[in-house]
């Protein structure tokens, strides 16, 4: 048996799968971030450690097996976190998670590199949310001259606590602002620009490599047997599509969580010089070209709270009663800044086109459509970069809504596939563990097994676009684009 773990923002999830990557049991341990002040967001790594043992034990119980039957462990989790550890591997601070923006000043103080040059080297946007800027914040603000520290992301931290190895994979490294896509290693010039030494960072290895074996301390932490292999692991943006079987180009993954992550695979490291999508290393020699997401599921939760609805189900029910296109009503999904069609942190969300004929149902549907219009922004950019997108793979909690899937098929004009199991990041982690422990020969085999398991259960739901609504939404999408352009002067106020 194999255990896969996902370290999320709201919970730690664990799954148990067999050697054929069939899901046998799952569980989660909830927790919440800490927001010390506006723009700051942290998490206590002790919560992950506590949650690991509890979630793993619960998943094993759900599967009806004991820990002695587990042969490997894989870990995935949130990107762009940063936490310092001492020479003994102990965290000396909370983790600055992906939402944390405090390192803006440190980023602006970096000399010798500009955003265009950094994008050419790394494929990503020069942004304070990425790891390198947060490392500089720690070095500028922790007491003393802490040259003995090593810096981790959440996944690599947990792997180090379990095995003693300081490693992370190429995909996580490619989010750091320190990684050269061309060289497949840290870029010496970027390390110098940020004032860092590679000894302060995890060693880069393949995600499916064994990082090491669970130590005595790791066994006490996880409840799993000492000596079983632990994979290097990866970030949830990559483990999620992997766990749904995405290993070859042709499908665009759209993960509907609190944020909406949209991306597709390509064989070459294509770089978007307009900056809507970022390019990251993936598995099998390919690259995941993605937008890291805007508040999508979070926008639905905001609407539910604001209009005092009885959950997202009521929102969807209201939206079903409104016509496609909402009779001209538009929603701009920029509640925490815009990530599409452009990255503008100061942008804000809005409804536009309200008349006395519009009601709550129109507004509910407009939120669903507005998030899907942002998805189309990414879809169009990928296609303009000659990235193959023949269909959409819809994942995450938001994929439970058949209506939202239909809206996305109609707005994109391509079929939308919804797998039986939607929360696939821990399954992706388990796939990495299966290869690390030599239970399976490679990720391609694991992907075929995932696809076969889907067919064996019930098969994916495939939602086809409706030609009449495709035409209607083409016009509405044009209006959405004009609205964004018209509001841009307001964003700069």
Predicted pLDDT at 460: 76
* Beta partners for residue 203, in sequence order: 167
Predicted pLDDT at 206: 97
β pairing state of 389-395 and 250-256: parallel
Q: How far apart are CA 233 and CA 205, in angstroms?
A: 10
Taking a C-beta distance cutoff of 8 angstroms, is the pair 84, 150 a contact?
A: yes
Predicted pLDDT at 199: 93
Contacts of 96 (CB under 8 A, 6+ apart): 40, 41, 42, 81, 82, 83, 102, 103, 134, 137, 138
Look at residue 30 and give its three-state secondary structure.
strand
How is residue 12 written in tokens? Answer: 């730690």
Predicted pLDDT at 99: 86
Question: Rg of the chain's alpha carbons, rounded to an integer?
Answer: 22
How is residue 462 written in tokens? Answer: 């495939």
Nearest Cα residue to 285 out of 331, 311, 247, 236 = 247
Q: Please calculate the CA angle 302-252-117 and round it to the nearest 5 degrees.
A: 90
pLDDT tens, residue order, the chain (493 aa): 999 999 998 899 999 999 999 999 999 999 989 999 888 999 999 999 999 999 999 999 999 999 999 999 999 999 999 999 999 899 999 999 988 989 988 998 888 788 899 999 999 999 889 999 999 999 999 987 777 899 999 999 999 999 999 999 999 999 999 999 999 999 999 999 999 999 999 999 999 999 999 999 999 999 999 999 999 999 999 999 999 999 999 999 999 988 899 999 999 999 999 999 999 999 988 999 999 888 898 899 999 999 999 999 999 999 999 999 999 999 999 998 899 999 988 899 999 999 999 999 999 999 999 999 999 999 999 999 999 999 999 999 899 999 999 999 999 999 999 998 889 999 999 999 999 999 999 999 999 999 887 765 556 789 999 999 999 999 999 999 999 999 999 987 4
Predicted pLDDT at 458: 54
* Beta partners for residue 76, in sequence order: 6, 234
Place of tokens 């990425």: 130
User: Would 2-238 and 246-418+460-491 be classified into the same CATH topology?
Assistant: yes
Three-state DSSP string of 420-482: CCCCCHHHHHHHHHHHHCCCCCCHHHHHHHHHHHHHHHCCCEEECCCHHHHHHHHHHHHHHHH
Predicted pLDDT at 432: 98
Cis peptide before 341 (omega within 30 of 0): yes
Predicted pLDDT at 346: 86
Predicted pLDDT at 112: 77
Taking a C-beta distance cutoff of 8 angstroms, is the pair 315, 364 a contact?
A: yes
Q: How far apart are CA 480 and CA 9, in angstroms?
A: 30
Beta-sheet strands, E only, within 346-449: 350-352, 389-395, 416-418
Give start and end residues of each alpha helix (H) in 64-130: 104-108, 115-122
Q: How far apart are CA 340 and CA 321, in angstroms?
A: 28
**Domain layout of the chain by residue ranges:** 2-238, 246-418+460-491
CATH of span 2-238:
3.30.420.40
Taking a C-beta distance cutoff of 8 angstroms, is the pair 231, 210 a contact?
A: yes
Cα separations (Å) of 266 from 50, 174, 186, 201, 291? 38, 16, 22, 28, 14
CATH of span 246-418+460-491:
3.30.420.40
Taking a C-beta distance cutoff of 8 angstroms, is the pair 278, 292 a contact?
A: yes
């Amino acid at each position: 048996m194999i255990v896969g773990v996902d370290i999320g923002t709201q919970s730690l999830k664990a799954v148990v799968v067999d050697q054929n990557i069939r899901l046998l049991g799952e569980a989660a341990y909830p927790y919440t971030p800490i927001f010390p002040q506006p723009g700051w967001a942290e998490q206590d790594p002790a919560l992950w450690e506590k949650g690991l043992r509890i979630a793993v034990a619960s998943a094993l119980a759900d599967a009806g097996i004991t820990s002695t039957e587990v042969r490997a462990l894989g870990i995935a989790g949130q990107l762009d976190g940063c936490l310092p550890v001492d020479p003994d591997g102990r965290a000396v601070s909370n983790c600055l998670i992906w939402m944390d923006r405090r390192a803006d000043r440190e980023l602006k103080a970096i000399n010798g590199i500009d955003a265009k040059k950094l994008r050419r080297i790394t494929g990503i946007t020069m942004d304070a949310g990425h790891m390198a800027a947060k490392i500089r914040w720690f070095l500028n603000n922790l007491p003393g001259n802490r040259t003995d520290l090593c810096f981790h992301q959440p996944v690599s931290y947990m792997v180090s606590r379990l095995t003693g190895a300081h490693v992370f994979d190429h995909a996580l490294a490619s989010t750091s602002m320190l990684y050269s896509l061309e060289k497949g290693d840290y870029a010496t010039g970027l390390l110098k620009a940020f004032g860092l030494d590679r000894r302060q960072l995890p060693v880069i290895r393949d995600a499916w490599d064994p990082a090491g074996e669970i130590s005595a301390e790791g066994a006490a932490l996880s409840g799993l047997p000492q000596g079983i292999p632990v994979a290097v692991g990866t970030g949830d943006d990559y483990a999620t599509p992997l766990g749904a079987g995405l290993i070859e180009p042709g499908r665009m993954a759209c993960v509907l969580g609190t944020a909406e992550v949209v991306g597709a695979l390509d064989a070459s490291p294509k770089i978007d010089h307009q900056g809507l999508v970022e390019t990251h290393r993936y598995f099998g020699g390919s690259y995941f070209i993605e937008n890291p997401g805007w508040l999508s599921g979070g926008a639905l939760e905001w609407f539910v709270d604001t209009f005092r609805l009885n959950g997202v189900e009521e929102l969807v029910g209201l939206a079903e009663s409104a016509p496609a296109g909402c009779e001209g009503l538009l929603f701009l999904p920029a509640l925490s800044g815009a990530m599409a069609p452009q990255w503008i942190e100061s942008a804000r969300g809005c409804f536009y086109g309200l008349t006395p004929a519009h009601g709550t149902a129109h507004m509910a549907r407009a939120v669903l459509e507005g998030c899907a219009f942002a998805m189309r922004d990414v879809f169009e950019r990928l296609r303009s970069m000659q990235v193959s997108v023949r269909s959409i793979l819809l994942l995450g909690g938001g994929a439970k809504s058949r209506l939202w899937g239909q809206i996305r098929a109609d707005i994109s004009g391509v079929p939308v596939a919804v797998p039986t199991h939607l929360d696939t990041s821990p399954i992706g982690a388990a796939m990495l563990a299966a290869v690390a422990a030599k239970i399976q020969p490679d990720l391609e085999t694991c992907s075929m097994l995932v696809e076969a398991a889907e067919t064996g259960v019930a098969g994916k739901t495939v939602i086809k676009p409706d030609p009449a609504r495709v035409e209607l939404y083409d016009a509405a999408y044009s209006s959405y684009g004009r609205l964004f352009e018209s509001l841009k002067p307001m964003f700069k106020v």
